Structure 1
Amino acid sequence: MYLNCHTYFSLRYGTISIELLVETAVKLGIKKIALTDINSTSAIFDFVSLCKKRGIEPVVGVEFRVDDKLQFICLAKNQEGLSEINEFRNKYNLSKEPFPNRVPSFLNVCTIYPLECNEFVLNENEFIGVQLHEIHQLYKYDYKKFVVIHPVTFLDKLGYNLHRLLRAVDGNCLLSKLPKSKEAKEHEYFVTPDELINHFKNYPELVENSKKLISKCDFIFKFDTPKNKKFYTTSKADDLELLRKLTKDGLIKRYGVNNKEAQSRIDNELRIIDQLDFCSYFLITWDIIKYARSRGYFHIGRGSGANSIVAYCLEITDVDPILLDLYFERFINPSRTSPPDFDLDFSWDERDEIIDYTFKRYGADYVCLLATHVTFHYSSACRELGKVFGLPKHEIDELVSSYRENPSNSYTRLILRYGKLMEDFPNYLSIHAGGILISEEKLTNYTSLLAMPKGFVIGEFDMYTCEDIGFAKFDVLSQRGLGHIKDTVDLVWKNKRISIDIHAIQDFKDDENIKNQLKKHETMGCFYIESPAMRQLIWKLKCEDYITLVAASSIIRPGVASSGMMGTFIKRHLNPETVEYIHPKMEELLFETYGVMVYQEDVIKVAHSFGGLSLAQADVLRRGMSGKYRSRLEFDKIVEQYFENCKRFGYDDDIAKEVWRQIQSFAGYSFSKAHSASYAVESYQSLYLKTYFPHEFMVGVINNFGGFYETEFYIHEAKRVGAIIELPDINGSNLLTDLKGNIITLGFIHVKGLEKITINQIIGQRNIRPFSSFDDFCKRVYIGLEQMIILIRISAFRMFGYSKKELLWETHFKVNKKNTLQTSELFYVEDVHYQLPSLYHHPAEDIYDEFELLGFTLQKPFLLVFQKPNCEYFASNLSTGIGKVIEILGYLVSLKPTRTKKGERMFFGYWVDEQGEFFDTVHFPNATKMYPFRGKGVYHLKGKVCVEYGHCSIQINWMQKLPFIVDPRME
């Protein structure tokens, strides 16, 4: 009889988790129960799975509402019924039309209408629902087709209060102004079956009708069968044959002929891939990559998929699993508890086209993006509740920042109490970072679809449910690092007619020039290895090869660094003969990494071979420490099993605890070895381009507006590698930055306040013919005075030989405040240039103009310093001052805030000196408090030069931001 139960996936309405709903039903002795979340199917499969485990028969459906008004409740008789419900929802979800008052002629769905619809002529599968508060109206109806509807929305009074708060949050209104029409009835909590029957004791027909209705519904679902598209071709045998042929072609390209080890690995992988029905998964991934290449797009294959030599031969990844001794079972094995997936990175501006291709290639009815549920964090819940109770913003900010333990204000106490209850409640559906599902059957068999802003549709369940019901997702992701690689390759072809196969990574790894570039830590602009911390690590490791860079990509992760194991790895890498292993078994397992768990594979190896866990348990452990577990209880049991096994194996307790500490510190943050290798591949591709085509590379980085640093410092880096940088120019600049020879001309996009319509006019007119004079520009480009002034101040007219001030005078004569003076082209009008007295110009004026309009200057910012102190030290001679307190001038590049073990705030600083070279500083808590940072600018720094593994940094004990001279125009 429980035909209308809600979970908190009835967003900002329900208050009960799926687990609590099922557990409460068990306690009340309920044998069959229907989940009907409001306009949502998100919770269905978790609900069904949990019901089966707890011995309850699940029924699934949807409660349809329009603007908080109940239209009807639909219950699926079977899986076909769920598909009908989803098809119906899709029609209105995707068209944005409201749901109608009546449902179509469903074959496998029972529909329950509210009592006010009693005048409907009902078919066999349609009923009228009666709630507790409506019993007194039954005397006036013929209730042959009536059933009992008792909505379940909360468990008690506390839940009812929480429900009302959620409704106020949803309506963005004060709780006191919440309309009753938006609330559930106060009696919508669980009652026992006997109580419910007792309420309707005078109407036994309704109870009997309800039992008959729910008996018609029997939702059976097979969780353990694959749901992905079965075949890429027309059969499993053809898929395997095609996969074998493509792999053989790739084998020759990657390894040459007669490589027996590679062939052996391929044979083994193909056997497992075929056994576990993953042929089509590999072929679909290959097809997506093939399309991308046909469009000239670049990609990186990341994640554990890079453990596969088949993926390497198909060029899904560029990671050689033989070189790195990667084992395929990390990606696919019969014991793995979660489906594998390929992570495919494309350029940020090309990803949408790849997704669009996937939808068109495999059919809109079979493809969707994966959803993710954005949940209420404690702070966001408290903030929303603060609005509901009418607190002013400053009080909400104070409340959220402090979380007072003993608040005196009653509203504040309520906010903190209910904020905690709301924590982790789903708030709204969003798009997963890159997950795509490609289904064998229509997606409506599993979910309804929702349209998102870019036009792609998403399902209503997340990655965990996706895995549970048998889908292996495809992750199509984006990043700007690939954008600058693509743009660089295109620019090299355009300027030098040199074609680059950027995926020929095997040709880069042993290149001595690239090794030297890496050894000198000249990595600015290179994906993942350009940050100050990574450049320091490369320096300390004396890294000059691909293998070491793979390790560096993992040990730079936060958990590894904070555990102290990064320092341990560096020390052991530089002095391998001094390594002492905590246990002989650890030496056997981790000899390659000097006894340090560098990769996720190391965690699995140690948990399995040292801790005695099964491979399946070890994988759950890895996922749990990455925050990806579904069941905390399952995870805790595995931890308990680890320590029991260690005791059984006779390990010393301290050794078992230390190994567990290392597992904890690494598992949550480290990459899989294949993932680290994938990052290192992209780093090497960037290094190759920077080594051999530095100017094109820096233009590619600048034009993709991504990376660790601001555009200013990539422009500075372009200067360091020999390029000449020019300000935007009306006859030489486009929207983006351009390169001709070794001259880089900044694009108009960098000029603040310059409107797109202005840029389009300039480029459009210049494409007809170049501008011959300032007057020629005024006649042909119709823009307002403010836009003209911006162009003059950024020196865009400098080729005509007039000073800025002369042009500013003339533009006020020749341009009105809205448009340039339009002159008919039918008559030649001689250019007019006014004779002006000599106008004083200070060089600092140009620097200030650049700062204002670009956000940086192409000149040295040190030129603006008022009374610049004389310092003898620069980045180049820091090593001569080791152990000494020195003074140096630095222009702030970036800051990395962190906290000590005591929770005190400190910083790592990165600077450029007067010679254009970079150096590092450390600001411990005392120095941070006494000499705080005061924003961007030039600083006078004093501190002790320290050295660690050959890398010099300055431990700051005094710092002062230096004042700039006043803009001469302001005096």
Structure 2
Amino acid sequence: MPTNFVHLRLHTAYSLAESTLRIKNLARLVSEDAQPAAAITDTNNMFGALEFSKAMVNVGVQPIMGAQLNITDSQGTGEVVLLAQNETGYVNLSHLLSDALLNSEANANPHCNFDALAARSEGLILLSGGVMDGFVGLPASDGRQSLAKSRLQALNTIMQGRVYIELQRHGLGAEQVAEPILVALADNLDLPLVATNDCRFDSPKMAGPHDALICIGTGRKVSEENRIKYSPNHYFKSGKQMTDLFVDIPEAIANTVTIAKRCSYMSPERAPILPAFTAGTDVTEDVALARQAEDGLAHRLERYVYSDDMDAAAKADIAKPYQDRLAFELGVINQMGFPGYFLIVADFIQWAKNAAIPVGPGRGSGAGSVVAWALSITDLDPLRWGLLFERFLNPERVSMPDFDIDFCQDRRDEVITYVQEKYGKDRVAQIITFGSLQARAALRDVGRVLEMPYGQVDRIAKLIPNNPANPTTIAQALESEADLRAERNQDEQVADLIDMSLSLEGLYRHASTHAAGLVIGDRPLADLVPLYRDPRSDMPVTQFNMKWVEQAGLVKFDFLGLKTLTVLQRAVEFIAQRGIEINLDAIPLDDIKTFEMLSAGDTVGVFQLESAGMRDVLRGLKPDRFEDIIAVVALYRPGPMENIPDYVARKHDPSQITYMHPDLEPVLNETYGIMIYQEQVQQAAQVLAGYTLGAADILRRAMGKKIKAEMDAQRATFVNGAVDNAISEKLASDIFDTIAAFAGYGFNKSHAAAYALVSYQTAYLKANYPVEFLAASMALDAGNTEKLAVFRQECQQKGITIKPPCVNHSFAGFRVEPDNNHPESDNDKLAIRYALGAIKNVGAEAMARLTEKRDAGSKFEHLMDFLERLPRDASNRRQMENLVRAGALDCLHANRHELLNNIDYLLAHAETLRRDKESNQNNLFGDDTDSMASSLRLTPCEDWVPMDRLKEEFDALGLYLSAHPLDGYGNQLAKLRIITASELNRQIEAGRPPQRVNLAGSITGKQVRVSQRGNKFAFVQFTDQTGVFETTFFSDVLSNSSDLLNDDKPLLVSANLKVEENGPRLLAARVQLLDDAVAAWHGGVGLWIRDDKPLEQLKSALRDDGPGKAEVKLHFTVDGHDVRVALAGRFKLSGELRQNLRRIPGVLEVRDL
């Protein structure tokens, strides 16, 4: 028997951090209680409307669309519930919510006023609100009876008889105060009553976890008194419980069913909706697509396929398969009704290219379409590279096409703006995404609100295996991790923590915007789906996520920002400054220098190929064709990586190549008999078992899902088809099993090929134009000092000079310039000029204005000239200090320490000059620049010694640029068996991590913490010439080395390496001054001198460094004979001294003995 009650106030988990009611569980509860209908009324949103509709229909329950929304009048704000009676009401509710969210201030509670409600009231039923913060219920509970009455009257005037006064009985004192007032008002105003329960969790036992969730959402602790609290009665009550609860007011229960009967609309699923593409007068979309595609194909063939010596007949022969494929694809596209989709994508891509915005060559399966290639949506020839259209758009399985488009990340927003302007801002939106409470986060959040010790909670959270690609749930961890089970069984508080976290795990915690997804409608989007505002984005966002927005009929377009495209463009622009024009679409794909570089593993900065592990693969593979790049992009992933050694071996020894059946040779010969691509699954099914490529795509998907019933059906089809092709049943079954085992991790060749092309383009530029490429790479990572340090090391290895930042020669970004002081001389040798904007805390925009001021006149002649033209937004203390520390003012005053000590004086001068200029006062010296320069009176001081200078430079740049503290140690580091940071990372990535290592470096950061037991430990960051590394110092090692860790001198750290789930960890075992370690080695140096002039300086420098255990030998020439003299005594020979020795005039060479 159906229950004579309907819940009209259900908050699902989409009431973010307010409810634990998951829609799937809610559908079960409603169905089990035989309730005929249920309303979703989440707070200020309809995130779950379509999901709720489908879930309820699936269990035979009528879904009612609604939401809780705030209404504002002159007396304040309060919530009401709005329920949609029909399509008009649903659209109006969508617009009310959208407008409230889009038009409210960023941190304000979304709301609408009476005017907005009046304009959108048709088709809606209004419930008056509860006592906690209801528009009517709250004033009724706190003595403002007249306000409650006037609000009801105003609402009834707007809603015209579609207002119900809510009664709730959660056991709150305010409800007992309000109820007689509300009943009296209902009688007085002739308005109906309705009983609701503000459901927030499914049963009374969930009251505790729900309370914890409220605290997580509001940043409070469970123990706090003055906070939002819900009674245990906010659970999902059965129809009988509600009927018994309101036995004295039966009409309030009966009206829930009355309201349900007045509502007859649910969030709809729709066929794909696309805006009409204006293709011209009286031209249909399919005709327009065919014309553009045919013209585009002819252009592509002429430019990239035909050779100059071909006659018309030869061209016709080559064009035939392209034209046949084009005709086939157009037929499928038109049959499926998607010509408009292709035209829309081609239009905004062509606009981007016309605007000189870099666009990627393709991504995903779309690169397999000849139509897409002809329209310049993609830039890979599908026939040349064996890419399949059916992998993208299957004529035997109707699904939306899905192009993922990469744009230059700096200008992606321009393309989105174009789309908004073309189709209307109210018809274009991004797509929402929801962040959920994962296992570890749930434990940590619950532990925080329960005020459990951080260390204890952190230790328990870390017992959950960390697998970002496939997150482990708490329930799974309890099954697999004995330590977690033991913690739960031994400690009641831990058991409560785990149980509560289990209840909250997976709930949505916050909403944000999908990184790439965009939808375009044929009408205002709020007519189709409600909209939301992400405070971090200016664009509206759909309230339905990716899954549900597509089911609602909106078509997704992916606009991705790819930094590498910007790097490529910037490099091409730098190269053009030499008069060399590069068309990346036309570079040769068989460039010898490029493949030699790849074979050497020289791929720092190369897209997809720069990890240490990938470099090892390339060194072994020795790629010599583009197909090898496609293969390694596809293979270098968990699972397929196991095939890499076999692939490499077969490439170098063809005798190892085998095929499961001879007919597979044309399918697998490109990959040396190894199945790598999903397309090869399709082609294998086609040649062995007679599948069409469309049917083979369905087979591939079935194999990936591994659903038994589907697999059994496909096995029968495959085996029968293979038998018809004269293949034995057993062999056919074995081949099917082999292919099925592979299909789960096979890679999309179209995607691999498209990304391999970007990889090759970056490699080509690095191999042939390394200075421009590395300058472009640094420009795009200007804010990432770790990457800049890597690029600095790369430049050093390649003999490329990085010139220091300079206010007279640098720009805001990195630039390329001749590697000499005279641009009119030989320009073949190029250098990179360090960017002013890459100096810490100066601001790229401020530096751009500074260089604009400089370039509007002439270079700064002296400090006073610089101060006079210094823009206001580039003249705060921190900016000036870091410009000085980085050496950017060396061209005007070489003593950095002196400048830094006079910063206040200089800034005051700059401000005085600026005020004089703004008030049109001439300065005291007029145009006499020499007098201006001499007017500065700096307080003199000694400049920093080289090591202090380096430290200050590091603080300003975040890396060592002009030198590194380890540079002076030469091959002494090798003698101490020191491993570099980059080599350590390479060994770890290659799966060969050493257990004990010696590392040398300078400290760049330190964090000291206290453990739960009161012991100090520290995370210490170091840098060497190749990168950075972090080492953990536990209490015993920390206490023994605290003085060393507070020193600025380079250190030698002996550490144990632990490779854990969270990544590798270095645990310090011993630390000492690097100088002491070098001295203990008893090494020495040889000094080659021109004559006796440097002897006094040498003697002074050696004496100042102090005695040690190393010897010094002088090498010089007398009468044409080489003379070698060992100096008396032994010397310390610190790294700093070694660097200083090289700077002494007359010293030709300093070499380790």
Q: TM-score range by the shorter chain?
A: 0.7 to 0.9
Residue of structure 2 equivalent to 1:950? none
Go from structure 1 to structure 2 and tell me whether the alpha carbon gap of 1:444 and 1:831 turns closer, same or farther (over 3 Å shift).
closer
Query: 1:196-211 counterparts in 2 under 5 A?
Result: 196-211=242-257
Partner Cα separation in structure 1 for residue 550 and residue 878 of structure 2: 57
Amino acid at match of 1:260: K
Matched, 1:16 2:21: yes
Matched, 1:524 2:604: yes
- Tell me by how many angstroms 1:224 deviates: 5.2
Partner Cα separation in structure 2 for residue 19 and residue 836 of structure 1: 75
Go from structure 1 to structure 2 and tell me whether the alpha carbon gap of 1:418 and 1:334 turns closer, same or farther (over 3 Å shift).
farther
Residue of structure 2 equivalent to 1:545? 625
Amino acid at match of 2:838: H
User: Is this contact kept in 2: 1:337–1:620, CA < 8 A?
Assistant: no
Moved more, 537-546 or 593-602: 593-602
- Tell me by how many angstroms 1:785 deviates: 7.1
Map Cα deviations across residues 269-299 of structure 1 (whole Å, 9 max, x no partner).
1111111111111111111112212221101
Go from structure 1 to structure 2 and tell me whether the alpha carbon gap of 1:79 and 1:786 turns closer, same or farther (over 3 Å shift).
closer
Partner Cα separation in structure 1 for residue 1136 and residue 421 of structure 2: 58
Go from structure 1 to structure 2 and tell me whether the alpha carbon gap of 1:12 and 1:936 turns closer, same or farther (over 3 Å shift).
farther
Map Cα deviations across residues 891-921 of structure 1 (whole Å, 9 max, x no partner).
63772686999x9997999999xxx9999x9
Query: 1:499-538 counterparts in 2 under 5 A?
Result: 499-504=581-586, 507-538=587-618
Partner Cα separation in structure 2 for residue 14 and residue 692 of structure 1: 59
- Tell me by how many angstroms 1:808 deviates: 3.6
Partner Cα separation in structure 1 for residue 548 and residue 877 of structure 2: 58
Go from structure 1 to structure 2 and tell me whether the alpha carbon gap of 1:862 and 1:144 turns closer, same or farther (over 3 Å shift).
closer
Partner Cα separation in structure 1 for residue 209 and residue 662 of structure 2: 56
Q: What SS does the corresponding residue of 1:892 show, helix, strand or coil?
A: helix
Query: 1:328-727 counterparts in 2 under 5 A?
Result: 328-336=389-397, 338-402=399-463, 404-405=484-485, 406-407=487-488, 408-452=490-534, 453-493=536-576, 495-504=577-586, 507-561=587-641, 564-581=642-659, 590-602=668-680, 618=699, 620=701, 638=710, 660-664=740-744, 666-667=745-746, 670=747, 672-705=748-781, 710-721=787-798, 723-727=800-804
- Tell me by how many angstroms 1:473 deviates: 0.9
Matched, 1:63 2:57: no
Partner Cα separation in structure 1 for residue 430 and residue 622 of structure 2: 43
Which of 89, 105, 111 aligns to 1:99? It is 111
Partner Cα separation in structure 2 for residue 174 and residue 677 of structure 1: 53
Partner Cα separation in structure 1 for residue 1026 and residue 809 of structure 2: 31
Which of 55, 58, 80 aligns to 1:50? It is 55
User: Is this contact kept in 2: 1:603–1:622, CA < 8 A?
Assistant: no
- Tell me by how many angstroms 1:476 deviates: 0.4
CA RMSD of aligned residues (A): 4.5
Residue of structure 1 equivalent to 2:888? 796
Map Cα deviations across residues 723-746 of structure 1 (whole Å, 9 max, x no partner).
432111121011111212313211
Amino acid at match of 2:290: R
Which of 773, 790, 800 aligns to 2:862? It is 773
Q: What SS does the corresponding residue of 1:111 show, helix, strand or coil?
A: strand
Residue of structure 2 equivalent to 1:892? 982
Residue of structure 2 equivalent to 1:146? 193
Residue of structure 1 equivalent to 2:478? none
Residue of structure 2 equivalent to 1:324? 385
Partner Cα separation in structure 2 for residue 437 and residue 500 of structure 1: 35
- Tell me by how many angstroms 1:848 deviates: 4.1
Residue of structure 1 equivalent to 2:838? 750
- Tell me by how many angstroms 1:676 deviates: 0.7
Partner Cα separation in structure 2 for residue 33 and residue 871 of structure 1: 74
- Tell me by how many angstroms 1:302 deviates: 0.9
Residue of structure 2 equivalent to 1:41? 46
- Tell me by how many angstroms 1:464 deviates: 1.4
Go from structure 1 to structure 2 and tell me whether the alpha carbon gap of 1:290 and 1:906 turns closer, same or farther (over 3 Å shift).
farther
TM-score under structure 1 normalisation?
0.82
Partner Cα separation in structure 1 for residue 417 and residue 398 of structure 2: 31
Amino acid at match of 2:804: L
Give me the identity figure in percent: 24
Partner Cα separation in structure 1 for residue 712 and residue 9 of structure 2: 40
Matched, 1:269 2:380: no
User: Is this contact kept in 2: 1:343–1:477, CA < 8 A?
Assistant: yes
Partner Cα separation in structure 1 for residue 264 and residue 998 of structure 2: 64
- Tell me by how many angstroms 1:803 deviates: 4.6
Partner Cα separation in structure 1 for residue 14 and residue 973 of structure 2: 65
- Tell me by how many angstroms 1:8 deviates: 1.0
Q: What SS does the corresponding residue of 2:434 show, helix, strand or coil?
A: strand
Which of 166, 172, 177 aligns to 2:219? It is 172
Residue of structure 2 equivalent to 1:79? 87
- Tell me by how many angstroms 1:186 deviates: 0.9
- Tell me by how many angstroms 1:268 deviates: 0.7
Go from structure 1 to structure 2 and tell me whether the alpha carbon gap of 1:799 and 1:70 turns closer, same or farther (over 3 Å shift).
closer
- Tell me by how many angstroms 1:248 deviates: 1.7
- Tell me by how many angstroms 1:390 deviates: 2.1
User: Is this contact kept in 2: 1:887–1:941, CA < 8 A?
Assistant: no
- Tell me by how many angstroms 1:573 deviates: 3.0
Partner Cα separation in structure 2 for residue 373 and residue 429 of structure 1: 5
Partner Cα separation in structure 1 for residue 325 and residue 246 of structure 2: 69
Residue of structure 2 equivalent to 1:282? 342
- Tell me by how many angstroms 1:235 deviates: 9.4
Question: Could you list the runs of 5+ residues in structure 2 that have no partner in the other structure?
Answer: 1-5, 130-135, 138-147, 303-314, 465-483, 721-728, 819-829, 914-921, 1002-1023, 1030-1036, 1038-1044, 1056-1068, 1076-1133, 1141-1153
Moved more, 3-12 or 585-594: 585-594
TM-score under structure 2 normalisation?
0.70
Partner Cα separation in structure 2 for residue 968 and residue 554 of structure 1: 50
User: Is this contact kept in 1: 2:575–2:769, CA < 8 A?
Assistant: yes
- Tell me by how many angstroms 1:659 deviates: 5.2
Map Cα deviations across residues 364-401 of structure 1 (whole Å, 9 max, x no partner).
22111011111101111112112211234344333323
Go from structure 1 to structure 2 and tell me whether the alpha carbon gap of 1:733 and 1:451 turns closer, same or farther (over 3 Å shift).
same
Go from structure 1 to structure 2 and tell me whether the alpha carbon gap of 1:837 and 1:812 turns closer, same or farther (over 3 Å shift).
closer
Residue of structure 2 equivalent to 1:963? 1074
Residue of structure 2 equivalent to 1:952? none
User: Is this contact kept in 1: 2:65–2:267, CA < 8 A?
Assistant: no
Partner Cα separation in structure 2 for residue 697 and residue 595 of structure 1: 36
Partner Cα separation in structure 2 for residue 421 and residue 319 of structure 1: 49
- Tell me by how many angstroms 1:646 deviates: 9.2
User: Is this contact kept in 1: 2:968–2:1135, CA < 8 A?
Assistant: no
Map Cα deviations across residues 229-270 of structure 1 (whole Å, 9 max, x no partner).
244547996211221122122212221263111111111111
Question: Could you list the runs of 5+ residues in structure 1 that have no partner in the other structure?
Answer: 626-634, 873-885, 922-928, 943-957
Matched, 1:294 2:299: no
Task: Indicate the structure whose relative CO is greater, using CA pairs within 8 Å and at least 6 residues apart.
Answer: 1
Map Cα deviations across residues 467-495 of structure 1 (whole Å, 9 max, x no partner).
333333111011211111111222233x1
Matched, 1:856 2:954: no
Query: 1:886-965 counterparts in 2 under 5 A?
Result: 890=980, 892=982, 895=985, 963=1074, 965=1134
Amino acid at match of 1:431: T
- Tell me by how many angstroms 1:409 deviates: 4.7
Q: What SS does the corresponding residue of 1:459 show, helix, strand or coil?
A: strand
Moved more, 210-219 or 512-521: 512-521
Amino acid at match of 1:539: R
Amino acid at match of 2:499: R
Go from structure 1 to structure 2 and tell me whether the alpha carbon gap of 1:472 and 1:331 turns closer, same or farther (over 3 Å shift).
farther
Residue of structure 2 equivalent to 1:628? none
